[in-house]
Amino acid sequence: MSDPVGILAYAGYVPYRRLRRSAIAAVLGGAAGRGTRAVASYDEDTTTMAAEAARAALRARPSDVGSVVFCSSFPPYADRTNATALHAVLGLPEHVRAEDQCGSVRSAVGALIGALHRPGGALVAIADTRTGPAGSADESGGGDGAAAFVVGRGDVLAEVLGTGAATSEFLDRWRAPGEPWAQTWEERFGEEIYAGLAERATDRALQAAGLEAAHVDHWAVTGLSPRAARRFTQGLGLAEGVLVDDLSDRMGFAGAAHPGLLLAAMLDDARPGDTLAVTVLADGADTLLLRATDAIARARRPEPIAAQLAAGDASLSYASFLTWKGELQRPAPRRPSPDRAVAPAAFRGTGWKYGFVGSTCEKCGTRHLPPQRVCLSCHSVDTMREEQMADEQARIATYTIDHLAYSPAPPTIGVVLDIDGGGRFSCELTDCDPETVHVGQRVRFTFRRVSDAGGIHNYFWKARPIVEGTAP
Amino acid sequence: MSSHGIKDRVAIVGMGCTRFAEHWDKSADDLIVDAVTETLDSAGVGRDAIDAYWLGTLTSGYSGMMLSSALKLDYKPVTRVENFCASGSEAFRNACYAVASGAYDVVMAVGVEKLKDSGYSGLTRANPPDDGTSLSLSAPARFSLLVPAYAEKYGVPREEIKRAMTRVAYKNHFNGARNSRAQFQQEVSEEKIAGAATVAGDLGVFDCSGVSDGAAAAIIVRAEDAHRYTDHPLYVKALAFAAGPGTGTYDPAYDYTTFEEVVRSARDAYEQAEVSSPADDLMMAEVHDCFTPTELVLMEDLGFSARGRAVADTMSDKYALDGELPVNPDGGLKSFGHPIGASGLRMLYECWLQLRDQAPPERQIKPRGRRYGLTHNLGGGPGECVSFVAIVGADQG
């Protein structure tokens, strides 16, 4: 009998920043909503968040994958493939195919199911950023986040038992290309249609798996219409404790990434033998049934979704949120705008710029970030080997809070870092309160969008503080 | 070691310097014409006497034609040099070597910069196309990295360093208030300096040098010819330059409390000038106080203060106008302003006045040591810079 098909590794990523829903009401009036929504920082987008999730997933299972798939309803680029950046960040070999399955929220579920049988296994990285007009339900109810799964055949931590789909063409939610926000038809219309679609998709999945709904230990339900998802859930008649928290209070609905985040959260808690279900209502419905294996115990992520949700910073102002989302124009500093990163230099330095690959002198062991041809210590020429530094940790040697540098979120925090395994690197510090920065502080590295110019996203690495009790 | 000095082989016989200011009504060409005209007049010569020119500028123009077209020179050799904020010093150094080599009898070094036409309040320049991975911090932020590192290494509280930074700014404004060519000519209280809006790290607005326009120039001849032009030439005792390997930002051995480039260039200069105890032998020093913590660290790198003692020495007014070793008696970059290419020559201009007893009485330094003046000029930032040190003297020998 051949190896089972399923999930080989996984990780979710919830950005550090949160917006309290009450902060919206404080500005716009109206009822103060409960809880918070997750917000991609000014230096994050769906590529960087997918990269963070993918890095964490691959750390759990450091072996080759046959292909990399990127899914998002808000990809940073049109026309060119976004997954190539992930491919470069992860340092994957050239023969690994990278492709996007972007566009609709449903595309992510399709990508995940479709990747199960790809030769060589696949890494599916899903990320989304969601918002809407100021004060809208989409704005407060949306959320930003990412999840990544290595799927295929082998020593799976969760075996796929069956999938079921139901498809229907109806106008529930739509967004013309280039438009910042979606529009929706009256929600009660979609609710009606979705309820039936989800039931039938679920029946098909249960039938394929030879199970009944009562056999499911943990069930996640999410979708484009919260009303429809609620109605379907009520109809399932699940036992107490089976339906998992849909995280909407704590991080909002992260669009294409949300089913992945819920699945990751279920895997964080699942015991060997547990049966898991995910139902997604998006232009139809999909239900995915899985069973956790014994391997789940050794696949636990050091940063479970719950820990990431607990670690966020909810002090973000609504004005900053709007600024980061491009909805509020603020004056530019009296400094020249950033230059665009040029293609040939970026191509020559792909290993450095995306993979954070420095060079280590074979003669004397000195590490160089960025990579050098001439050793700074022993001056040997071309005696270097490449070394990936992304998972290293470091301490702050000195730092500055720069109120003049060009930034969408001033001040810029500049840090000089001493890396644990040797080497020195100077970069920006992100995801932290400038008041708390200090010499000796522990940090790790994160892939970010440093600037934008000429339509070119300038990606590179920054540092972020290590939160007590977590590890990369 | 590194260089064969040219001590006492060449001399400065004429100098000029525009006021450094926001010259909205003057172009770079105007500033060049003003500085060069004053310089020629001070040496009592016409432009035909000059055999060759060196021009230092960072971004205000390109090639020797920037100077030749401004002055309508008749096919004389003009070399344009650039070495960041030490561009004016570099023009001077190369001009001196041209005379010392015997290639020319009379040469001129000119430095100029027009910063205020950029539309930005800080220094700006075009960067070469790159992969977008270098850390883009403002200049004050880069130099502010010195402060936490210095506090950590020497166990000096940040507040004490800040007080010394404030004293540096206070001193240099005090001196600039006695200088009709300085950009800022008013004393500023320590309270106001310390309470100014934060720019980067522990640096407030008053911890930063002025962004200004200006030009300065010098005429250099063989030492034996100097008295044909003036009774009081300045003899060049030492010229030292060090370009660092630029590894500080990624070398863990670099601790952000020193400029090795300055240490090396100073050592070279002291050897050339046969100065064994700079704090005792020098009458004054003009140093590159681009930001106040820079001046603190320079006091140690130049050997004026023992390591870890710059804060205490500054607080005891060792470097004040009437102190043991006056530093930046003209107001420094801080209050005189910093038009990049002109600054190195502006520093020499202060030596020109002070060592020849021609500074205004309210800031004339009393003779001490060997009537030597030191100028120090650096470009770049902590861990990756170029550094120039010159020593000039009023007497031969």
Can you list the residues of chain B whose pLDDT is less than 70?
Answer: 1-2
Task: Give the pLDDT confidence score for residue A258 in this predicted structure.
Answer: 98
Distance from CA of B248 to the nearest CA of A (A): 9
pLDDT above 80 (res A334): no
Residue A64's pLDDT band, with cuts at 50, 70 and 90, is confident
Residue A332's pLDDT band, with cuts at 50, 70 and 90, is confident
Q: What is the DSSP letter of B120?
A: S
Spatial distance between the Cα atoms of A129 and A326, rounded to a whole number of angstroms? 13
Contact A404 B254 (CB under 8 A): no
ipTM of the complex: 0.93
Per residue in A65-88, pLDDT (tens digit) is 999 999 999 999 999 999 999 999
Per residue in A160-219, pLDDT (tens digit) is 999 999 999 999 999 998 898 999 999 899 998 999 999 999 999 999 999 999 999 999
Spatial distance between the Cα atoms of A95 and A76, rounded to a whole number of angstroms? 24
Reduced 3-state DSSP string for chain A: CCCCEEEEEEEEECCCEEEEHHHHHHHHCCCCCCCEEEECCCCCCHHHHHHHHHHHHHHHCCCCCCEEEEECCCCCCCCCCCHHHHHHHCCCCCCCEEEECCCCCCHHHHHHHHHCCCCCCEEEEEEECCCCCCCCHHHHHECCEEEEEEEEECCCCEEEEEEEEEECCCCCEECCCCCCCCEECCHHHHHHHHHHHHHHHHHHHHHHHCCCHHHCCEEEEEECCHHHHHHHHHHHCCCCCCECCCCCCCCCECHHHHHHHHHHHHHHHCCCCCEEEEEEECCEEEEEEEEECHHHHHHCCCCCHHHHHHHCECCCCHHHHHHHCCCCCCCCCCCCCCCCCCHHHHHHCHHHHCCCEEEEECCCCCEECCCCCECCCCCCECCEEEEECCCCEEEEEEEEEECCCCCCCCCEEEEEEEECCCCEEEEEECCCCHHHCCCCCEEEEEEEEEEEECCEEEEEEEEEECCCCCCC
Reading the block at residue A117, the tokens are 């049988």
Residue A302's pLDDT band, with cuts at 50, 70 and 90, is confident
Count other C-beta atoms under 10 Å from residue A391's C-beta.
Answer: 12
Q: Which residues pair with B374 in a beta bridge?
A: B285, B391
End-to-end C-alpha distance for chain A, whole angstroms:
36
Is B23 labeled as catalytic in the residue annotation? no
Residues in B 148-167 with any Cβ partner in A closer than 8 A: 148-149, 151-152
Residue in A50, A11, A24, A12 with CA at minimum distance from that of residue A325: A24
Spatial distance between the Cα atoms of A263 and A124, rounded to a whole number of angstroms? 13
Residue A472's pLDDT band, with cuts at 50, 70 and 90, is very low
Partner residue facing A334 (CB), from B120, B133, B252: B120
Contact B250 A423 (CB under 8 A): yes
Question: Which residues 6+ apart lie within 8 Å of A354 measured at CB?
Answer: A85, A88, A89, A447, A459
Contact B152 A439 (CB under 8 A): yes
Residues of B in contact with A439 (CB under 8 A): 148-149, 151-152
Contact B136 A418 (CB under 8 A): no
Residues of A in contact with B124 (CB under 8 A): 335-336
Task: Give the pLDDT confidence score for residue A119 in this predicted structure.
Answer: 87
Please state the pTM of the whole predicted model. Answer: 0.95
Residues in A 318-337 with any Cβ partner in B closer than 8 A: 334-336
Is B338 labeled as catalytic in the residue annotation? yes
Residue A60's pLDDT band, with cuts at 50, 70 and 90, is confident
Percent of chain A with pLDDT over 70: 99
Spatial distance between the Cα atoms of B377 and B285, rounded to a whole number of angstroms? 11
Contact B148 A353 (CB under 8 A): no
pLDDT above 60 (res A275): yes
Residue of A nearest to B199 (CA): A403
Residue of A nearest to B200 (CA): A402
**Radius of gyration (C-alpha) of chain B in whole angstroms:** 19
Residues of A in contact with B380 (CB under 8 A): none
Write the CA distances from B264 to A237, B135, B271, B386, integer angstroms.
80, 27, 11, 11
**Radius of gyration (C-alpha) of chain A in whole angstroms:** 22
Contact A339 B132 (CB under 8 A): yes
Residues in A 441-470 with any Cβ partner in B closer than 8 A: 450-451, 458, 460
